[in-house]
Amino acid sequence: MRRRYSDFIRSVVPHIRASFLMAALFSAAISAHAATTVVTNQPPVYADREVSQDAFVSGCGYQTRIVNMELAFTATPSNNVQIAFGSDLDKDGHLSFGEVRMTIGWDCGKWFHASGDLSQESSFAPEGSRTGTVFRTLKMPMRLDASCVPFSLSFADGNSPFIFENFTSVPAWMRPREWTMLRLTARGWDIRDGQALVKMSLDGSVIFLR
């Protein structure tokens, strides 16, 4: 009986190794599939020193499972730098106010997160944000379920996690797969250059064993 069992083990080990090898290759292929959108504001050209730039969000589809958003810029107590996400419904290549689903960014010394119509808004003021000029990075990684709803969502000021006030659950207007365009906007007399980076990819943890 023991010999027959040993023969069975020796017969299946090569198949198990092959299966794990195929799974590893499949997982690596998924992890490598990612689309990144990077937008950098240009120098201001208007008297009020507001500048904005639109960009189509690439790679967001039914297979998207991971979304990483970053906003990096020089923050001051009086400038505003933000990203608006939405869909270009009229196909004019610009994200107008009525097409925005979510806005997130910095406004005069605090981070804010709001619905497209600005009827719902939360904020967070990091320590020392009311004085001085500091280069800051806002990070918002999230994981999506099969119905496009984020089941894992967090925020960080650089490497320091934080929670927006009154933010208890993922709002209905935060649906990344509905975003086809973003608009990066900067305002204020102080330095307010900004760069937005949005990376969307498949989840590399899917494994098939044959």
3-class DSSP state for residue 198? strand
Tell me the pTM.
0.75
Query: For 39, phi and psi rounded to 5 degrees?
Result: -130, 130
According to CATH, what is the number of the domain 35-201?
A: 2.60.120.200
Runs of H (alpha helix) within the chain? 2-32
- Residue boundaries of the structural domains of the chain: 1-32, 35-201
Whole-angstrom distance, CA of residue 143 vs CA of residue 163: 17
pLDDT tens per residue across all 210 residues of the chain: 445 434 533 443 344 343 333 333 233 333 445 677 788 876 665 556 788 888 888 766 777 888 888 988 888 888 888 999 999 999 999 999 999 999 999 999 999 999 999 899 999 999 877 777 888 899 999 888 887 788 889 999 999 999 998 787 888 888 888 888 989 888 877 655 678 777 766 554 433 333
Q: Are 182 and 140 in contact (CB under 8 A)?
A: no
Burial class of residue 138 in the structure, from the number of CB atoms within 10 Å of its CB (0-12 exposed, 13-18 middle, 19+ buried)? buried
All residues at 6 or more sequence positions from 75 whose CB lies less than 8 Å from its CB, including other chains: 81, 106, 109, 129, 133, 134, 135, 136
Whole-angstrom distance, CA of residue 85 vs CA of residue 78: 23
Query: How many of the other CB atoms lie within 10 Å of CB of 66?
Result: 19
Cα radius of gyration rounded to whole Å, the chain: 22
Q: Go through the chain and tell me how many residues it has.
A: 210
